[in-house]
Amino acid sequence: MADLRPATPEDADAIGDVWFAAWKDGHLGLVPEELVRVRTPESFRERAAGKVPGATVAEVDGGIAGFVVVADDEVEQVFVAAEHRGSGIAAQLLAAAEEQLRASGHETAWLAVVPGNARARAFYEREGWRDDGALEYEAAGPDGPIAVPTRRYVKRL
């Protein structure tokens, strides 16, 4: 189990580094090359700084093992460092995100996952989420959104 707490601006670089490595694990070969080209290590640190207000981090031994970000009724990011996968931290983070959305008055939450990300899909399904169909996700890019084919998952809170 990890200690969960809201992210602070000082966490941004550490979140960005966990995000970059974990993003590659879940997305390389599964998303358009155009997206891979713009997802540099620096881009994750920059984006992490902007995500701090909606982010919760999981700490283990003083380091960031993973994080989750909510935005409106979306669980926007769920990323756990490779060495902490299979430990239950991801479920802890997802439950915290769901609780945050429930407390904000949302009755249903959604998230997007790329079709080939089998581990993430199995994880979401085990945690009570269901596949609600195909969704073309507008991923943020430096020159505007990049369309990424995804599956939309939903859960009643």
124: Cα separation from own chain's centroid: 12
CA distance 83 to 154: 28
Q: What's the closest the beta carbon of residue 26 comes to ligand COA, in angstroms?
A: 2
Write the CA distances from 146 to 17, 49, 133, 143, integer angstroms.
22, 20, 19, 9
Verify binding: residue 122, ligand COA, rule CB under 6 A.
yes
Question: Which amino acid does the sequence have at 77?
Answer: Q
Q: What's the closest the beta carbon of residue 116 comes to ligand COA, in angstroms?
A: 10
Verify binding: residue 2, ligand COA, rule CB under 6 A.
no
Phi, psi of 4 (to 5 degrees): -100, 140
Asked whether the beta carbons of 150 and 112 are under 8 A apart, the reply is: yes
CA distance 55 to 52: 5
Q: Determine the interface stretch with ligand COA among 22-30, 38-46, 48-56, 140-148 (rule: CB under 6 A).
A: 22-30
Of 91 and 135, nearer to ligand COA (C-beta) is 91
Residue of 2, 48, 90, 146 that binds ligand COA (CB under 6 A): 90
Residue of 51, 117, 129, 148 that binds ligand COA (CB under 6 A): 117
Alpha helices (runs of H) in the chain, residue ranges in sequence order: 12-27, 33-38, 41-51, 89-103, 118-126
Q: What's the closest the beta carbon of residue 117 comes to ligand COA, in angstroms?
A: 5
Q: Determine the interface stretch with ligand COA among 21-29, 36-44, 96-104, 134-142 (rule: CB under 6 A).
A: 21-29
CA distance 126 to 119: 11
Residue of 25, 34, 74, 131 that binds ligand COA (CB under 6 A): 25
Q: Which residues of this chain interact with ligand COA, rule CB under 6 A?
A: 22, 25-26, 78-80, 85-86, 90-91, 113, 117-120, 122-123, 126
